[in-house]
Amino acid sequence: MKDLTGKKVLMVIARNKFRDEEYLEPRKVLEAAGVIITVASSSLNTAEGVLGLNVKPDVLIGDVKEGDYDGIVFVGGGGASEYFDNPVAHKLARNFFEHGKLTSAICIAPATLANAGVLKDKRATAFPSSEGALNTHGAIVIKDDVVTDGKIVTAVGPSAAKKFGEKLVDVISS
């Protein structure tokens, strides 16, 4: 296991209906490598996952300073659609990408990256219902569990959550 002690990653969850394992699995893998996790959302109220997990966000997405983190993870689940057309989420994604930092999303959340313009001409994957957004915004859609293109990591859904977390560790350490 790589030692990423001192690295910091922001995990963005929906205020409701984020996918529990897409939050828990990558978080476990990142924390096992020494990464400090901060959770952001559009509300500071306790967020509830699809399977009932309750998570209290640490910060509002509008208050995040990209310079404080080494990477960003947009967690999927049905509620993640709240960020598809959210200008604050788009700006965050672009800032991380433009500064050469880990910029990642799982399940339907890669649509947020696509809509932000981050996936143009980049290889990416997403849950099938979000592939249209990726195509519309010029991504090269790859049918695989986890796809990496430079510092961008995308994953297809909950079944790939652990593998996604492992790839996040690889990219942060590179």
At 93-126, the pLDDT tens digits run 999 999 999 999 999 999 999 999 999 999 999 9
Q: Whole-angstrom Cα distance, residue 105 to residue 18?
A: 12
From 45, 48, 55, 46, select the one nearest 11 (Cα to Cα): 55
Query: Is pLDDT at 2 greater than 90 in this prediction?
Result: no
Computed over every residue of the chain, the mean pLDDT equals 97
Q: Are 74 and 106 a contacting pair, CB within 8 Å?
A: yes
Q: What residue ranges define each of the domains in the chain, with the CATH number in brackets?
A: 8-173 (3.40.50.880)
User: Three-class SS of residue 105?
Assistant: strand
Task: Please tell me the predicted confidence (pLDDT) of residue 148.
Answer: 98
Query: Is pLDDT at 1 greater than 90 in this prediction?
Result: no
Neighbours of 120 (CB within 10 A): 12
Q: Whole-angstrom Cα distance, residue 10 to residue 108?
A: 18
Rg of the Cα atoms in the chain: 14
Task: Please tell me the predicted confidence (pLDDT) of residue 85.
Answer: 97
* pLDDT tens-digit series, residues 24-66: 999 999 999 999 999 999 999 999 999 999 999 999 999 999 9
- Percentage of the residues of the chain whose pLDDT score is greater than 70: 99
Show the DSSP H helices in 68-160 as ranges: 87-98, 110-115, 131-136
Q: Which two tokens stand for residue 28?
A: 């476990």
CA angle 55, 38, 26 (to 5 degrees): 75
Length of the chain measured in residues: 174
- Percentage of the residues of the chain whose pLDDT score is greater than 90: 98
Task: Please tell me the predicted confidence (pLDDT) of residue 94.
Answer: 98
In which band, very low, low, confident or very high, does the pLDDT at 4 lie, cut at 50, 70 and 90? very high
From 157, 97, 166, select the one nearest 130 (Cα to Cα): 157
